Amino acid sequence: MIQVGLGHFLVVGTLLFTLGVVCVITRRNAVAILIGIELMLNASGLNLIAFSHYNNKAVEGSVFVLFVIVLAAAEAAVAMALILAIKRRLRTIDVDQTSSLRG
């Protein structure tokens, strides 16, 4: 039986983060980008929990993650509101077409 250690958590976290980055960069749907951001946040949360667990079972990491989750919820609410506003105004949420801020 394979002992599950810190390294496994880190690999999963890295994979999760990479997936999030790729999702953010490649997807054109604003909601999908938001999802990618959530993935990255959770990847970093997983890392924090893992480091915290393997560091004498400290609780600071878990507290951080609780904050991150709350913030992520707030962030998602704000971002969704923005996306809805963009949708209403421009009739699209394709980020390639919402380029009116081009210099």
Partner 1 sequence: MQQFNILWLIPFFPLMGAFVNGAFGKKLQRRFGEKIINVIGVTLPWLSFVIAVFAFIKLRGLSEGEFLSDHLWTWVAVGQFHVDLAFSMDSLSAMMALIVTFVGSLIHVYSIGYMHDDESYWRFFSYLNLFMFSMLTLILADNLLLMFVGWEGVGLCSYLLIGFWYKDLNNAKAGMKAFVVNRIGDFGFLIGFFILFWGLGGSWTANGYHVAGTFSLNFHELPELVAGIGDKLLWGVPIATLVALFFFVGATGKSAQIPLYIWLPDAMAGPTPVSALIHAATMVTAGVYMIARMNFLYILSPAAMTVVAMVGAATALFAATIGCFQNDIKKVLAYSTVSQLGYMFIGVGVGAFWAGSYHLLTHAFFKACLFLGAGSVIMAMHHEQDMRKMGGLGKVMPITRWTYWVACVAISGFPIAAGFFSKDEILWKAFDSGVLLVPGWLPWLLGFVAAGLTSFYMFRSYFLTFTGDLPEAHGHEPEEQRPVVTGVLVMLAAGAVILSFVGLPKLWMGAEPALEQFLAPVFEAAEHLPSAGHGHGTEWIMMLLSVGIAFVGMGSAWWLYRGRSNPLPERLKQRFAGIHRVVYNKYYVDEAYHATAVRGFMGTSRLCSWFDVKVIDGLVNGAGTFTRAFAWIDGAIDKYLVDGLVNLIARMVRFCGARVRRIQTGRLPAYLAGLVTGAVVLVVLTRFLMDLYS
Strand stretches in 5-64, DSSP E: none
Question: 90: which residues sit within 8 A by CB, 6+ positions away?
Answer: 97, 98
CB of 59 vs partner 1, minimal distance in Å: 29
78, two tokens: 């704000």
**How long is the chain?**
103
* Candidate list 25, 56, 59, 88; residue touching partner 1; CB under 8 A: 25
The site map against partner 1 for 68-97 (x = CB under 8 A) is ---------------------------xx-
* Site for partner 1, rule CB under 8 A: 21, 24-26, 28, 30, 33, 95-96, 98-103
